[in-house]
Amino acid sequence: MAAGFESARSLRVSETGIPGLLLLDLPVHGDRRGWFKENWQRERMVALGLPDFGPVQNNISFNDRRGATRGIHAEPWDKYVSVATGRIFGAWVDLREGPAFGTVFTAELGPGTAVFVPRGVGNAYQTLEDDTAYVYLVNDHWSAQAQSQYTFLNLDDETAAIAWPIPLEQAERSERDLAHPRLAEVSPMRPRRALVLGANGQLGRALRETVPGADFADRSRIDLFNEETLDSVRWGDYDTVINAAAYTAVDQAETPRGRVDCWDANVTGVARLARHAARHGLTLVHVSSDYVFDGAKHSAYTEHDPIAPLSVYGQTKAAGDAIATTVPRHYIVRTSWVIGDGGNFVRTMAALAARGVDPSVVDDQVGRLTFARDLAAGIRHLLDTRPAYGIYNLTGSGHATSWADIARRVFELTGHDPARVTGVSTAEYFAGEQAAPRPRNSLLALDRIVATGFAPRDAAEALTEYLDALAGHEGSNR
């Protein structure tokens, strides 16, 4: 076997003192001719705990002489480092915002060892042999804009106190590395965060309370209709994108102009978004609808039931769901009858009751209300617990009710006679109007989301709390 290294017995991934920094033992096979190793083996390494980080660029840094020293650089991407020839002393310092800031880990790397360096962990090395080839994979393309996001630390920082094998005054360093700041002067790299599209909608406003550290973008900034606005996003700043934006004017979608806009936002726009999410390794949370079903089933719809949308809106949501599944890390959250901040059915019924209006309300469509803050809480739960990717139904829990039932309950809870509400069929309600067909059964089974540890609130109890809060808010504004 070739001299200068020891072969690892088997592939092994070990944790270090820095969160996310992983050390790998690589099997190396050699004889008198030289050696061979599988430097990057995605399937086996991911199975052992290495993140499936999706490298897009392979770089080699060749060092002529022993003592070449480079770093300490924290970059805005993940990095997988190994050595092709020679040996290095590697040093890593956590430069991310958080409790591990300043933590140091060092190790010697030869052909039989590699290290996975997460975004924001400062990386440095010193060559211990002449003709050392340092190889690294990264999961984003280098650019001048990306380089402007680097965070640096001086190799000779007293706080990190790295024990370099070759004293730095005897090592070869660049002028730029000599000028890097001390730890007390370093601005920590902020963690990746979530990007929320549709920030001013009912769900978007609820997410502001549930995911307060997220970046919230309304349509004036990021518009699914406009690909240029998506191309301008600095996607490396995010690990998750929550798509709370959609075309939801279900009746308008049946018109010639509305059909075009609905397909553009809910299908073409989702395809634009999915392309960026997949390319940058983001988790995509995509909000879907009960309208993907025809409502003919006599029990609650599960995540595995075949879709059969009746309307243009339902067709576009079904198509958008299919596109969202092409993103490796995706959660499709199907919901129904959303009630949140702003104009909604419950507010309308409460206002009619107060004004003395006796409404006719559809009584042959059944489902459960979903309050936006509960929908937001369920999304936060999925992101915190990271169950298996896929589709999750998420609505309020409890008994199925009709729209007329809900209206009567709103009247009752606001101190009015529920008998003032008249139940009518969908056909009667929309007689003489151009309206989208609606599913008669919008009930969604909740078993899968419950199995992850999330318990949706009872829709009837949530309605009572919502109306109490609404009354309190209106009272305070008088």
- Catalytic hit among 73, 276, 381, 416: 73
Count CB-CB contacts under 10 A for residue 358: 13
| pLDDT, tens digit (0-9, with 9 covering 90-100), for 98-127 | 999 999 999 999 999 999 999 999 999 999
Answer whether residue 477 shows pLDDT above 80. Answer: no
Taking the CB of residue 5, how many other CB atoms lie within 10 A of it?
Answer: 19
Mean residue pLDDT of the chain comes to: 91
Q: Confidence class of residue 432 from pLDDT cuts 50, 70 and 90?
A: confident
Backbone phi and psi for residue 147, each to the nearest 5 degrees, phi listed first: -65, -30
Among 79-83, 148-152, 303-307, 401-405, the range scoring the smallest mean pLDDT is 148-152
Amino acid identity at 277: A
**What is the arithmetic mean of pLDDT over 73-91?**
94
Per-residue model confidence as pLDDT tens digits over 124-137: 999 999 999 999 99
Residue 339: asked if its preceding bond is cis (omega within 30°), the reply is: no
What mean pLDDT do residues 296-322 have?
A: 96
- The catalytic residue among 125, 136, 291, 331 is 136
Ordered by start, the domain boundaries in the chain are 12-185, 193-476
Judge whether residue 399 has pLDDT over 60. yes
Please compute the mean of the pLDDT values over residues 151-169 and round it to a whole number.
Answer: 95
Asked whether 182 and 122 are in contact (CB, 8 A), the reply is: no
The reported pTM is 0.83
The DSSP 8-state label assigned to residue 64 in this structure reads -
Does the pLDDT of residue 3 top 80, yes or no? Answer: no
Provide the pLDDT for residue 125.
96
Structure confidence at residue 338 as a pLDDT band (50, 70, 90):
very high
> Rounded CA gap, 108 and 270, in Å?
46
Give the pLDDT score at 139: 87
306: confidence class by pLDDT, cuts 50, 70, 90: very high
Distance CA 362, CA 334 (A): 22
Q: Are 206 and 198 in contact (CB under 8 A)?
A: no
Q: 73 an active-site residue?
A: yes
Q: Which residues pair with 195 in a beta bridge?
A: 215, 241
What the block records as the tokens of 370 is 């979903």
* Of residues 362 and 34, more confidently modeled: 362
Q: How far is it, in rounded angstroms, from Cα 407 to Cα 423?
A: 10
What is the predicted pLDDT for the residue at 2? 45
- What's residue 475's pLDDT? 53
Fold of 193-476: Rossmann fold (3.40.50)
Stretch 1-29: mean pLDDT, rounded?
Answer: 80
Q: Is 392 a catalytic residue?
A: no
| Cα–Cα dist 370/344, whole Å | 12
Torsion, CA 255, CA 258, CA 263, CA 264, rounded to 10: 150
How far apart, in Å, are the Cα atoms of 120 and each of 134, 144, 404? 20, 17, 54
The answer, yes or no, to whether residue 1 has pLDDT greater than 80, is no
Average pLDDT of span 405-433: 92
Cα 359 → chain centroid: 42
Share of the chain above pLDDT 70, in %: 96
Which residue, 362, 368, 367, is CA-closest to 404? 362
Third-level CATH fold of 12-185:
Jelly Rolls (2.60.120)
Q: Which pLDDT score is estimated for 281?
A: 87
Q: Which residues on neighbouring strands pair with residue 401, listed in sequence order?
A: 367
Instruction: For residue range 356-393, list pLDDT tens digits in order.
Output: 999 999 999 999 999 999 999 999 999 999 999 999 99
Mean per-residue pLDDT, 41-67? 91
Asked whether residue 233 carries a pLDDT value surpassing 70, the answer given is yes
